Structure 1
């Protein structure tokens, strides 16, 4: 399965164990990189879903999440300032109207 940014190798088993070989991961990663995508390995085992990715991909995702959380915090701070300015303007207008 492919998305715009990821190439998924999906496996399923109802057994309680699954053999995953290094060569399988390398092959899946190679195909993903050729397509310009990040490799993900998904396994449905005994009715539960698991996802495997490289540590490097995980670290990149975590860093991006931290960046986005910081940006959200900055935007929330900006919104608070705008709300305060609007309240000040409304108070000024109410005093003029009174």
Structure 2
């Protein structure tokens, strides 16, 4: 990191804070504060299985099903919003019907 790159990079990280996009989705339990580019969350096993088909991320705590979703400073707004939209769609389509 060169001197002076942080002020330029910080707004990018804030803009790509995926946590703000997913924290209010039904079925997403954000387990830790997400002030920057990492989101720690638990979703249903069915949603997690389907999401893994379209996104690459890590299990953070396999025993609880907690995952870590990361955004990189070079991700476009479309990529970050696309992830949140795909997660929302998966939650909606995998929800039990009444």
TM-score by length of 2: 0.26
**Between structures 1 and 2, the one with greater strand share:** 1
* Greater RCO, CA 8 A, separation 6+: 2
Larger Rg: 1
**Between structures 1 and 2, the one with greater helix share:** 1
